[in-house]
Amino acid sequence: MARDYYALLGVSKGASDSEIKRAYRKLARELHPDVNPDQQAQARFQEISVAYEVLSDPEKRRIVDLGGDPLESAGAPGNGFGGFGGLGDVFEAFFGGGSTSRGPVGRVRPGADSLLRMRLDLEECATGVTKQVTVDTAVLCDLCQGRGTHGKSTPTTCDTCGGRGEIQTVQRSLLGQVMTSRPCPVCGGVGEVILDPCNRCGGDGRVRARREISVKIPAGVGDGMRVRLAAQGEVGPGGGPAGDLYVEVHEQQHDTFVRDGDDLHCTISVPMVDAALGTSVAVDAILDGPIEVTIAAGTQPGSVTTLRGRGMPHLRSGVRGDLHAHIDVVVPSRLDHDDIELLRKLKEHRTRDTAEVRSTQSGSTGGGLFNRLRETFTGR
Ligand SMILES: [Zn+2]
Ligand SMILES: [Zn+2]
C-alpha cells in the first residue's frame, strides 16, 4: 500500500505548494534533532522530510496523486531511504544550516565574539576617547596551552563512536528502516576523548579570566555604533583562535544639545526686547568652548540660526556638522508698574501693530504655529 505523504505533513490532497512548504517548515522546527533529541521525533523528522521531498517535486507528486509511490520504484523495498542522500539538502534549503553531522568535528574551534557596552557622553563622542575596560572572556589555558591534556598525556580515540564523532541508529518507522545519526554524546562529536585532562581547564583548553584592555573610541562615534577589536573576544574550545570583541557605544543625553547625525541642535531663549533690538548670546559649544551667537534685531520666534562647522566631527572624514540654534522668544509674564508704563508708551508709538487673524498653514512664515508643530514632529 502506498504511503500517505499528505497525512504525514498533515495537509489535504489539494494543498498548494506553499501550504506544503509551510506545513513541513512547522513540523521540522519541532522535530529537528538539534531541537528535539527524542528518538521518536527523529524518526518523525525523517518521515516528514521524505514526504516533503516527494510532494515538493511535481513529478513525484503526480505519481502519488495517481495512487502510486515514487519511492517504491526508485529504491529497493524495505530500504526506503537507500537513495536518499538528499535529506540534508532538503533541510538545508530551508534552514540554511547543516542538519546532518558528517564525520568528527575538530577539537580546536574558533571562539565566539563578545559584546561590551560603553556609556559615553556627547563630549567623548566628539573628541574620541581611550578607556580602560574590564572584559570577562575565555582565554587560553596557560597550563596546557590549549591542548586540554594533563602533562604529556594525549587524547585517545573515543570508544563509543570509534572516532567517527557520530552515532548512527537504525529504527523501524512508517516508512521502513530509518537511519539517523547524531553527534556522539561521549566525545561531543570530536571523535577523541581526554582521559587525563588538564587540572586547570578540565580539558577545554581555555579558562575564564578578567582582564583590562584599552579601547580606543574614534571621534564622531554615535549611539549604537560598534567598535571592533579583532581577536579580543572568546578563545575557542581547544585554544582555538579568539573571536572579536565589539564595544557598543551608548551615547548619554546631553543637557543642552540634541544630536542629529553630525549636526547638533539647541534652543536659545531670548527675551522679547533682545529679540527686537538684537543681541548676542554665548553658547558653550562642544569642542569649541563658548562661541557668540548673534541674534539679529527683529529675530522671530522659531527662527533658526545655523553655525556652520560647529557640530560633531564626521566619523570618517572628520568634517564637522553644523550647530543649529533654535530661537525661542520669551514674552515677560510678570510686569511691574514701570514695565507696563514703558510698554504702553511703545504701543502708543507703534500704531501700525495690530492683531491679525489668518490661516494657520498659509501664514506660516517664520515662527507660525504650524511650522513649530512640524518642527516638533520631524525633530528639527
Ligand atoms: Zn565519540
Ligand atoms: Zn588546560
**Ligand 1 centre distance from Cα of residue 166 (Å):** 6
**Ligand 2 centre distance from Cα of residue 272 (Å):** 74
**Ligand 1 centre distance from Cα of residue 307 (Å):** 69
- The pLDDT tens digits of the residues spanning 213-236 come to 999 999 999 999 999 999 999 999
Q: What is the pLDDT of residue 175?
A: 67
Q: What residue ranges of the chain have pLDDT lower than 70? A: 1-2, 72-103, 175, 361-380
C-alpha dihedral over 138, 141, 147, 150, to 10 degrees?
A: -130
Q: Which residue carries 554615535 as its cell?
A: 222
**Ligand 2 centre distance from Cα of residue 152 (Å):** 12
- The pLDDT tens digits of the residues spanning 327-371 come to 999 999 999 999 999 999 999 999 998 899 988 865 445 555 555
- CA Rg, the chain, in Å? 36
**Ligand 1 centre distance from Cα of residue 236 (Å):** 20
**Ligand 1 centre distance from Cα of residue 185 (Å):** 7
Give the number of whichever ligand sits closest to the CA of residue 103.
1
- The pLDDT tens digits of the residues spanning 246-269 come to 999 999 999 999 999 999 999 999
**Ligand 2 centre distance from Cα of residue 237 (Å):** 11
Q: Which residue carries 521502513 as its cell?
A: 176
Q: What is the pLDDT of residue 378?
A: 55
The beta-strand segments (E) located in the chain are: 114-120, 129-140, 156-157, 166-173, 176-183, 192-193, 206-217, 226-229, 245-251, 258-260, 263-271, 279-285, 289-295, 304-307, 323-330
